[in-house]
Amino acid sequence: MTTDGHPEPWVASLFPAARAVWAKHDFDTDGWLPLYRHMADSAAVGGLLWDEWLPPQVRRLMAAAMPDGEADARLLVTWLCCVHDIGKATPAFAGQVDGLADRMRANGLDTPSRKQLPDHSHAPHGLAGQLILRDWLTSRHGWSKRATHQLTVVVGGHHGVQPTDAGIREADRRPELLRTPGNEQAWLDVQYELLDAAATRTGAASRLTAWRDAEIPQTAQVLLSALVITADWIASNPDLFPLYPNAGTRAHDPVRTREAWRLLGLPAQWRPREPEGTPAELFAARFELPPGATPRPVQEQAVEAARAMPAPGLMIIEAPMGEGKTEAALTVAEVFAARSGAGGCFVALPTMATSNAMFDRFLTWLAHVPGMPAEAASVFLAHSKAHLNEDYLALMGGGITLDLDRDGGDDRAVTALIAHRWLRGRKKGMLASFAVGTVDQLLFLGLKSRHLALRHLALSGKVVVVDEAHAYDTHMNTYLDRALTWLGEYGVPVVILSATLPARRRRELVAAYTGERDGHDHVEQARAYPLITTAVPGVRADVTEPRASGRGADVLIEPLDDDLDTLTSRLETELSDGGCALVIRNTVARVHEAASRLRDAFGENTVTVAHSRFLDLDRAANDAALVAAYGPPDRDPERPARHIVVATQVVEQSLDVDFDLLVTDLAPVDLVLQRMGRLHRHPRGERQSDRPAPLRRARCLVTGVDWTATPPEPVRGSRTIYGEHVLLRSLAVLRSRLDAHADAERTVRLPADISPLVQDAYADDDALLPPAWKDRAEEARTAHEVARLTQREKARTFLLRKPATPGKPLIGWIDAGVGDADDSHRGRAQVRDTAESLEVLVARRAADGTVTTFPWLPDGRGGVELPTHTAPPAEAARTLLASALRLPYQFTFGATIDRAIDELETDMVPAWQSKDAHWIAGELVLFLDEDDRADLAGHHLHYTRTDGLKATRAE
Tell me whether residue 878 is exposed, middle or buried, using C-beta atoms within 10 angstroms of its C-beta: 0 to 12, 13 to 18, 19 or more.
middle
User: Does residue 5 register a pLDDT over 50?
Assistant: no
- The predicted structure's pLDDT at residue 773: 94
Weakest-pLDDT range from 333-337, 361-365, 385-389, 605-609: 385-389
Q: Edge-to-edge, what's the strand order for the sheet holding 933-936?
A: 933-936, 939-944, 948-953
405 band by pLDDT with thresholds 50, 70 and 90: low
User: Does residue 571 register a pLDDT over 80?
Assistant: yes
825 band by pLDDT with thresholds 50, 70 and 90: low
**What does each C-alpha distance from 39 to 90, 201, 495 come to in angstroms?**
15, 11, 40
Q: Do 245 and 300 reside in the same domain of the chain?
A: no
Q: How many domains does the chain have?
A: 4
Average pLDDT rounded to a whole number, residues 378-406: 80
Secondary structure class of 836 (helix, strand, coil): coil
411 band by pLDDT with thresholds 50, 70 and 90: very low
Which residue, among 265, 458, 468, 511, has the nearest Cα to 377 in the 3D structure? Answer: 265
Q: Do 734 and 860 reside in the same domain of the chain?
A: no
Q: Tell me if 775 is assigned to some domain.
A: no
Q: Tell me if 823 is assigned to some domain.
A: no
Q: What angle do CA 15, 20, 26 make, to 5 degrees?
A: 155
Secondary structure class of 620 (helix, strand, coil): helix
Q: Do 537 and 557 reside in the same domain of the chain?
A: no
| β-pair partners for 5 | none
Higher pLDDT pick, 10 / 52: 52
Contacts of 817 by beta carbon, 8 Å cutoff, 6+ apart:
161, 447, 448, 449, 450, 452, 798
With residue 9 as reference, give the H or E element that holds it.
helix 9-13
Average pLDDT rounded to a whole number, residues 5-34: 85
Spatial distance between the Cα atoms of 192 and 134, rounded to a whole number of angstroms = 11
4 band by pLDDT with thresholds 50, 70 and 90: very low
Q: Do 512 and 572 reside in the same domain of the chain?
A: no
Q: Which of 490, 522, 544 is the last residue of a domain?
A: 544
With residue 297 as reference, give the H or E element that holds it.
helix 297-308
Q: Do 249 and 304 reside in the same domain of the chain?
A: no
Spatial distance between the Cα atoms of 158 and 286, rounded to a whole number of angstroms = 41
The parent domain of residue 928 ranges over 835-953
Q: Tell me if 234 is assigned to some domain.
A: yes
425 band by pLDDT with thresholds 50, 70 and 90: confident
- The predicted structure's pLDDT at residue 827: 60
Q: Do 701 and 722 reside in the same domain of the chain?
A: yes
Q: Do 117 and 140 reside in the same domain of the chain?
A: yes
Q: Do 241 and 287 reside in the same domain of the chain?
A: no
Q: Tell me if 743 is assigned to some domain.
A: yes
Spatial distance between the Cα atoms of 741 and 557, rounded to a whole number of angstroms = 11
Q: Tell me if 631 is assigned to some domain.
A: yes
- The predicted structure's pLDDT at residue 3: 34
Q: Tell me if 272 is assigned to some domain.
A: no
Tell me whether residue 99 is exposed, middle or buried, using C-beta atoms within 10 angstroms of its C-beta: 0 to 12, 13 to 18, 19 or more.
exposed
User: Does residue 394 register a pLDDT over 60?
Assistant: yes
pTM: 0.92
**What does each C-alpha distance from 395 to 134, 267, 293, 391, 433 come to in angstroms?**
45, 14, 32, 7, 14
Q: Which of 697, 718, 750 is the last residue of a domain?
A: 750
E strands in 781-822:
none
Average pLDDT rounded to a whole number, residues 405-423: 66
Which residue, among 220, 142, 130, 139, has the nearest Cα to 177 in the 3D structure? Answer: 130
Spatial distance between the Cα atoms of 380 and 355, rounded to a whole number of angstroms = 11
CATH number at 409 reads: 3.40.50.300
The one-letter code for the residue type at 432 is: A
Q: Which of 699, 718, 750 is the last residue of a domain?
A: 750
User: Does residue 950 register a pLDDT over 50?
Assistant: yes
Spatial distance between the Cα atoms of 696 and 699, rounded to a whole number of angstroms = 9
**What does each C-alpha distance from 26 to 23, 29, 41 come to in angstroms?**
11, 6, 18
β-pairing, 531-536 with 539-544?
antiparallel
Contacts of 504 by beta carbon, 8 Å cutoff, 6+ apart:
524, 762
Q: How far is CA 374 from the centre of its chain?
A: 27
Q: Do 206 and 341 reside in the same domain of the chain?
A: no
Weakest-pLDDT range from 225-229, 408-412, 710-714: 408-412
Q: Do 226 and 363 reside in the same domain of the chain?
A: no
Q: Do 214 and 135 reside in the same domain of the chain?
A: yes
User: Does residue 838 register a pLDDT over 90?
Assistant: no
DSSP string covering 188-235, please?
HHHHHHHHHHHHHHHTGGGTHHHHTT----HHHHHHHHHHHHHHHHHH
Q: Tell me if 794 is assigned to some domain.
A: no
Secondary structure class of 246 (helix, strand, coil): coil
DSSP string covering 302-359, please?
HHHHHHHSSSS-EEEEE--TTS-HHHHHHHHHHHHHHHHT--EEEEEESSHHHHHHHH
Q: Do 249 and 293 reside in the same domain of the chain?
A: no
With residue 462 as reference, give the H or E element that holds it.
strand 462-466
β-pairing, 376-382 with 413-418?
parallel
Q: Tell me if 312 is assigned to some domain.
A: yes
Q: Is the dihedral of CA 544, 548, 553, 555 positive or negative?
A: positive
Backbone dihedral angles phi then psi of residue 71, each to the nearest 5 degrees: -60, -45
